[in-house]
Amino acid sequence: MKYRRLGQSDLHVSVIGIGTWQLGGEWGQTYSAEEVKAILEQASQCGINLLDTAECYGDHLSEELLGRAMAGHRDQWIVATKFGHHFNKPFDRDLRFDPSQVQQQLEASLRALQTEYIDLYQFHSGDDDIFETEGLWEMLERQKEAGKIRHLGISISSKLKDTFQVDKAAALGASAIQLVHNRLNPQSEAVFDSCIKQDLGILARVPLACGFLSGKYPQGTRFADDDVRQVWLTEELRNEQLAQVQTLHNEVPTDASMAQWALAWCLQHPAVTCVIPGCRGAEQVMANALAADLAMVRTDHPQAMASGETS
Ligand SMILES: NC(=O)c1ccc[n+]([C@@H]2O[C@H](COP(=O)([O-])OP(=O)(O)OC[C@H]3O[C@@H](n4cnc5c(N)ncnc54)[C@H](OP(=O)(O)O)[C@@H]3O)[C@@H](O)[C@H]2O)c1
């Protein structure tokens, strides 16, 4: 495994982390405590130390499953979670960004994760007005002082087209940005210079384009009725992305799977700290961890030193 410093923080995160939206039950599968334990054991054996979860992957369900699996080993993990949404039922959330509501969510996340602190607490996909909610960042600063939050992050909505939130991040005390970045969506690179200038880490989310960049899905694929790819992606968008993937097979080196190549592709930019692929189970964790061997920061890049990579 390789590790990179997360922005100006003292966290050295594995370049391959794990996204855990799947554990909330919206990806066509429910998870038992044993299955989650197996995922974390595999991750630990591979040197992975970063877990990304959220308040609304189930009603704190993903956090709860992680909390049980981490019990007794909390200090081995860097836990990133998020605030701002309330899970009502699968595929249905309310926004809750008022400081008192966020404070309640923080307490609920701490309880679910069975921890006294969150390593990275991220603003979760809010628009620019919500980002400026009165008293929000002051309240979060107080939680940092109280030791409940180690670092703040901003998970940028995929709908946002401006750089407002990224440009304000460091001034608000954030250490990292989370955004969609993958071989089908390279346009997120537009904010990378701002991140490097502010010394912000970047968590690249959806690095496999919802699994499409594994190359295993033909056009016309229909997912299970309780799989987010069937519920939230239109058939047109799915087929458009799957057609794009078909044109990329010639970029994949012969000694790697398409998924490993897609993860390594994200990590070649020195601004990217880590990728957080979601996983169905422990086998995918192992396969994805091997992408760290392929991942090379582009040394010809003017910001090549920015990654601060160690093995
Ligand atoms: N707003 C936000 O802040 C936000 C939004 C979205 C996601 N996220 C975070 O980012 C994480 C990652 O994004 P994502 O899970 O949406 O998409 P992703 O990482 O692009 O794709 C995950 C899916 O890819 C498939 N996969 C994973 N490894 C594979 C491998 N080695 N070979 C073949 N298939 C593989 C699995 O599905 P199948 O095997 O079923 O195909 C898995 O569920 C989430 O879990 C979450 O933590 C945050």
Task: Give per-residue pLDDT as tens, 69-112.
Answer: 999 999 999 999 999 999 999 999 999 999 999 999 999 999 99
Average pLDDT score over residue span 119-133: 97
The reported pTM is 0.96
Number of domains in the chain: 1
Residue pair 62/31 in contact by the 8 Å Cβ criterion = no
Residues with CB under 6 A from ligand 1: 19-22, 27, 52, 82, 124-125, 155, 178, 205-211, 214, 216, 259, 276-280, 284, 287-288
Q: State the pairing for strand pair 274-275/201-205.
A: parallel
Average pLDDT over all residues of the chain: 95
Q: Which numbered atom of ligand 1 lies nearest the CA of 208?
A: 20
Give the pLDDT confidence of 155-191 residue by residue, as tens digits.
Answer: 999 988 889 999 999 999 999 999 999 999 988 899 9
pLDDT tens digits, 249-291: 999 999 999 999 999 999 999 999 999 999 999 999 999 999 9
Q: What are phi and psi of 43, to 5 degrees?
A: -60, -45
Contact 91, 228 (CB under 8 A): yes
Q: Rounded to whole angstroms, how far apart are CA atoms 310 and 49?
A: 14
Ligand 1: residue of 125, 206, 267, 290 to mutate (most ligand atoms within 8 A of CB) is: 206
pLDDT of residue 160: 84
- Mean pLDDT of the 133-154 span: 98
Protein residue whose Cα sits closest to atom 39 of ligand 1: 280
Tell me what pLDDT residue 299 has. Answer: 57
d(CA 192, CA 28): 34
158 Rama class: left (phi>0) / alpha (psi -120 to 50) / beta: alpha
Question: 301: domain CATH number?
Answer: 3.20.20.100
- Per-residue confidence (pLDDT) for residue 72, from 0 to 100: 95
Q: Are residues 63 and 81 in contact, defined by beta-carbon separation less than 8 angstroms?
A: yes
Q: What is the pLDDT of residue 305?
A: 57
Tell me the percentage of the chain whose pLDDT exceeds 90. 91
Residue 27 has what DSSP assignment? B
Q: What domain range includes position 9?
A: 3-307
Determine the Cα–Cα distance for residues 270 and 255; give it in Å rounded to an integer: 23
